[in-house]
A = this chain, B = another copy of it.
Amino acid sequence: MSIRPRGRQFFNNPGPTNIPDKVLRAIDRPVLDFLSEEFLEIHRACFQGLKRVLKTEQQLFMYASSGHGAWEASTANVFAAGDKVLMIESGYFSESWTMMCRKFGLEVEVMESDWRHGVDPAAIEQRLRSDTAHEIKGVLVVHNETATGLSHPVKDVRKAMDAARHPALLLADTISSLACFDFRMDEWGVDVAVGGSQKGLMLPTGMSLTGVSEKAMAISAKGGGAPRHYWDWREMKARDPQRFIGTTPVHHFFGLQASLALLEEEGLDAVFARHARLARATRAAVRHWGGLNDTSDPTNGTKPAQGERGPNLTAAINGPELYCRDPARYSDSVTAVLAPEGHNVDKFRKVALERFNLSLGGGLGPLGGRVFRIGHMGDLNEPMLLGALATTELAMKVSGMPHRPGGAEAAVESLAKD
Name A residues whose Cβ lies closer than 8 Å to a Cβ of B: 1, 4-11, 13, 15-21, 24-25, 27-38, 63-69, 71-72, 81, 99-100, 103-105, 196, 198, 204-207, 226-230, 232, 244-252, 262, 265-266, 274, 353, 356-359, 362, 379-391, 393-394, 397-398, 405-406, 408-409, 411-413, 415-416
Contact = CB atoms under 8 A, between A and B. Distances in A.
Contact of A388 (B66, B205, B383): B383
Given A31-B19, A408-B408, A390 B386 contact: yes
B250 A205 contact: yes
A105 B227 CA distance: 8
B411 A64 contact: no
A390 B398 contact: no
**Across the A-B interface, the 7 shortest Cβ-Cβ residue pairs:** A387-B387, A7-B381, A68-B246, A386-B390, A204-B251, A66-B246, A383-B387
A411 B390 CA distance: 9
Contact of A196 (B34, B67, B227, B247): B247
Given A8-B379, A383-B357, A205 B251 contact: yes
A229 B7 contact: no
A310 B85 CA distance: 46
B230 A65 contact: yes
A415 to B, nearest CB: 6
Contacts of A21: 8, 29-30
A412 B383 contact: no
Given A228-B103, A247-B15, A379-B8, A412 B416 contact: no
A104 B68 contact: no
A20 B4 CA distance: 14
Contacts of A266: 6
A395 to B, nearest CB: 9
Contact of A406 (B18, B19, B394, B406): B406
Contacts of A383: 7-8, 10, 356-358, 387-388, 390-391
Contacts of A15: 247
A34 B252 CA distance: 19
Given A66-B246, A386-B386, 20 more contacts: A7-B384, A11-B33, A25-B25, A27-B27, A27-B251, A64-B205, A68-B230, A68-B247, A69-B69, A104-B227, A205-B250, A358-B382, A383-B390, A390-B412, A394-B416, A397-B412, A405-B413, A406-B406, A408-B408, A409-B409
Contact of A394 (B11, B27, B69, B386): B386
A359 B394 CA distance: 24
A291 to B, nearest CB: 15
A252 B25 CA distance: 15
A260 B381 CA distance: 31
Nearest to A6: B381
Contact of A27 (B5, B28, B228, B230): B28
A143 B205 CA distance: 30
A74 to B, nearest CB: 12
**Among A100, A206, A391, which residue has the most Cβ atoms of chain B within 10 A?**
A206
Contacts of A103: 227-229, 232
Contact of A68 (B71, B198, B245, B274): B245
Contacts of A412: 390, 393-394, 397, 405, 408
A357 B381 contact: yes
A193 B229 CA distance: 19
20 contacts: A1-B37, A4-B265, A7-B379, A8-B18, A8-B30, A8-B379, A36-B359, A64-B206, A69-B246, A100-B230, A205-B250, A206-B252, A357-B381, A386-B387, A386-B390, A386-B394, A387-B390, A397-B413, A408-B408, A408-B412
Contact of A356 (B100, B226, B382): B382
Nearest to A381: B7
Contacts of A100: 229-230
